[in-house]
């Protein structure tokens, strides 16, 4: 059954599997391409959005190719290859600093499992030479409030394709989560979330849709 589309929506999606994801590497600001699996994940997500009856007025993505390629494949499946797209570094993945390019098992061996988990999942822990999730939020939230939220509140449906951590940072804002609650949140490759802007100024998840999170 399709979804009602009488109100504007905000869709947040993580990119499909990248070459670094396949090798279980920390990516950060590295710029790996999508794998064949990642391309198919993106196409499948596009088909899922199309089946829900969603139509978009514009899209926003990061400067990294894994997000841009995912968006292009999505738009092809949705039949909107020429939809206006805004590209911004504000939605880039968090900077993993010295961890970037390391295999996660290697990183745990080198730094200890608890330390690596804190760097990956906590809100405040800062990887060596990189960004904490809080630091990523400090660039994601102002961009969202200035450039995305007003569009949805004025009646546009907007598709955002970004990264696991830039989206996790945004969820703290949208879902009004306590910082410690974000440690348990993970968005899988090509997973998506659908939001509506409520009249009280809050954001609500679209009812009736099972989210891959």
pLDDT at 3 exceeding the cut of 50 = no
Q: What is the pLDDT of residues 11-66, one digit of tens each?
A: 999 999 999 999 999 999 999 999 999 999 999 999 999 999 999 999 999 999 99
pLDDT for the residue numbered 1: 35
37 is in an annotated binding site: no
3-state per-residue secondary structure call for the chain: CCCCCCCCCEEEEECCCEHHHHCCECCCCCCCCECHHHHHHHHHHHHHHHHCCCCCCEEEECCCHHHHHHHHHHHHHHCCCCCCEEECHHHCCCCCHHHCCCEHHHHHHHHCHHHHHHHHHCCCCCCCCCCCHHHHHHHHHHHHHHHHHHHHHCCCCEEEEECHHHHHHHHHHHCCCCHHHHHHCCCCCCCEEEEEECCCCCEEECCCCCCCC
21 is in an annotated binding site: yes
65 is in an annotated binding site: no
pLDDT at 6 exceeding the cut of 90 = no
pLDDT at 211 exceeding the cut of 50 = no
Task: Supply the mean pLDDT for the chain.
Answer: 93
Q: What is the pLDDT of residues 72-114, one digit of tens each?
A: 999 999 998 889 999 999 999 999 999 999 999 999 999 999 9
Residues taking part in catalysis: 15, 93
189 is in an annotated binding site: no
**Domain-by-domain residue ranges, the chain?**
10-205
Q: Which pLDDT band holds residue 166 (cuts at 50, 70, 90)?
A: very high
pTM to 2 decimals? 0.94
Q: What is the pLDDT of residues 104-152, one digit of tens each?
A: 999 999 999 999 999 999 999 999 999 999 999 999 999 999 999 999 9
pLDDT for the residue numbered 2: 43
145 is in an annotated binding site: no
Query: Is 10-205 assigned to CATH 3.20.20.80?
Result: no
pLDDT at 209 exceeding the cut of 80 = no
47 is in an annotated binding site: no
């Amino acid at each position: 059954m399709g979804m009602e589309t009488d109100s504007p929506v905000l869709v947040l999606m993580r990119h499909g599997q990248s070459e670094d994801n396949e090798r279980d590497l920390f990516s950060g600001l590295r710029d790996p391409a999508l794998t064949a699996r990642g391309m198919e994940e993106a196409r499948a997500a596009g088909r899922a959005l199309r089946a829900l009856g969603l139509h978009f007025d514009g899209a926003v993505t990061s400067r990294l190719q894994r997000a841009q390629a995912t968006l292009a494949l999505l738009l092809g499946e949705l039949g909107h290859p020429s939809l206006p797209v805004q590209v911004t570094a504000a939605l880039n993945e968090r900077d993993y600093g010295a961890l970037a390019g390391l295999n996660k098992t290697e990183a745990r061996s080198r730094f200890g499992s608890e330390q690596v988990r804190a760097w990956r999942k906590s809100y405040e822990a800062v990887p060596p030479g990189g960004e904490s999730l809080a630091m990523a939020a400090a660039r994601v939230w102002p961009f969202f409030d200035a450039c995305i939220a007003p569009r949805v509140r004025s009646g546009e449906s907007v598709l955002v394709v970004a990264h696991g951590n830039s989206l996790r940072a945004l969820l703290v804002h949208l879902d009004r989560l306590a910082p410690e609650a974000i440690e348990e949140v993970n968005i899988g490759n090509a997973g998506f979330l659908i939001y509506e802007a409520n009249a009280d100024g809050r954001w609500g998840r679209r009812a009736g849709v099972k989210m891959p999170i």
